[in-house]
Amino acid sequence: MCHPACSPAKLQKSFEKWPGWTGLHRVTFVTFVTCRPFSLDTVWLNLYRRGHARWDARMKLIIGNKNYSSWSLRGWLAAKQSGLSFEEIVVPLFGENWEADKQSGQIMPSSGKVPLLWDEEVVVWDSLAIMEYLADKVGRDRFWPKDDVARGMARAMVAEMHSSFQALRSECPMNVRKRFDGFEPSEACKADIIRILGLWAEARSRFGSGGPFLFGTFGAADVFFAPVVSRFISYQIPVPGFAAAYMQALWEHEWMTGWIEASENEEWVIEQYETLS
Ligand SMILES: N[C@@H](CCC(=O)N[C@@H](CS)C(=O)NCC(=O)O)C(=O)O
């Protein structure tokens, strides 16, 4: 982060006339005092420029249990990908206080669904809306491929994930820490799995040369398919080698390892998601 010789006030003054940084994610400077290099995340530069940077004004992300809440994982990964600082508030789904929690001011705007993002007076719910709100705030390139063709496909894949794959979602609820033996998918669930593997294969082969993720570097499509990777692991879905390699890269991503560890440490158990339906 910032070198001590470089105060927030000085930075704000320097950058208030700047048109903004998009595309670049980190910028390196050299201090005049010590000639030592230091780098800043462009998200912070843009926030200074807009005069919004206040050390105590962190966004709040309301999520459900990390072990079970797949939409929360998407919202949380999107918040991580934004590079912005946020406070996470975990509300246990279907726990003894769930009905009361749903009525609380912080969850009410979504009518009782998580995730929700509070950014001062702004409230955004629904994982896709949260990701798009954050992309508006920090720049599209942080989430989406720059290339039009790749971005078109990434957007379509994310939209399809958000609206489809009902059989997979209902037969294989996310349960990060669990491994189920003997899962037999229905024909509809098999079709969902085959469709997803086809999408992954196309993204990886056409656009994945820059890294191990769907479109090379980690982005919006990985945010949205992360819970599917968790489901494929939990329900021991056989997958071809390219998909296994992608799943391993995602599972070993540092944000995922943090989420997995937190899931394993949660004490809440939702019985209906602990057995095969
Ligand atoms: N389309 C919403 C779905 C949100 C959703 O269904 N969240 C689940 C948890 S994964 C929830 O809050 N369930 C509580 C309930 O239905 O009462 C999104 O993308 O965020």
* Substitution site in 114, 125, 166, 228 for ligand 1 pocket (most atoms within 8 Å of beta carbon): 114
- Per-residue model confidence (pLDDT) at position 22: 58
Q: How far is the CA of 31 from the centre of ligand 1 (A)?
A: 47
Q: How far is the CA of 276 from the centre of ligand 1 (A)?
A: 21
Q: How far is the CA of 213 from the centre of ligand 1 (A)?
A: 26
Q: What does the alpha-carbon distance between residue 234 and residue 237 come to, in Å, rounded to a whole number?
A: 8
The CA-to-CA distance between both ends of the chain, in Å, stands at 49
- Per-residue model confidence (pLDDT) at position 134: 98
CATH assignment of 143-263? 1.20.1050.10
For residue 114, count other CB atoms closer than 10 A to its CB: 24
Q: How far is the CA of 71 from the centre of ligand 1 (A)?
A: 6
Q: How far is the CA of 87 from the centre of ligand 1 (A)?
A: 19
- Start-end of CATH 3.40.30.10 domains in the chain: 59-139
Dump pLDDT digits (tens) for 200-231: 999 999 999 999 999 999 999 999 999 999 99
What class is the 59-139 domain?
A: alpha beta
pTM for the complete prediction?
A: 0.82
- Per-residue model confidence (pLDDT) at position 6: 46
Instruction: Tell which atom from ligand 1 comes closest to the C-alpha of 69.
Output: 10
Structure tokens given for 236 = 């021991």
- Per-residue model confidence (pLDDT) at position 25: 72
- Per-residue model confidence (pLDDT) at position 39: 78
Q: How many Å is the maximal CA-CA distance in the chain?
A: 67
- Start-end of CATH 1.20.1050.10 domains in the chain: 143-263
Structure tokens given for 230 = 């968790």
Q: How far is the CA of 115 from the centre of ligand 1 (A)?
A: 7
For residue 115, whether the previous peptide bond is cis, meaning omega lies within 30 degrees of 0, is yes
Q: How far is the CA of 82 from the centre of ligand 1 (A)?
A: 21
- Per-residue model confidence (pLDDT) at position 49: 61
Pocket of ligand 1 (CB under 6 A): 64, 69-72, 93, 112-115, 126-128
* Substitution site in 61, 67, 68, 71 for ligand 1 pocket (most atoms within 8 Å of beta carbon): 71
- Per-residue model confidence (pLDDT) at position 3: 45
Q: What does the alpha-carbon distance between residue 259 and residue 177 come to, in Å, rounded to a whole number?
A: 11
Instruction: Tell which atom from ligand 1 comes closest to the C-alpha of 162.
Output: 19
The residues of the chain scoring below 70 in pLDDT are 1-24, 32-33, 45-56
Q: What does the alpha-carbon distance between residue 242 and residue 57 come to, in Å, rounded to a whole number?
A: 42
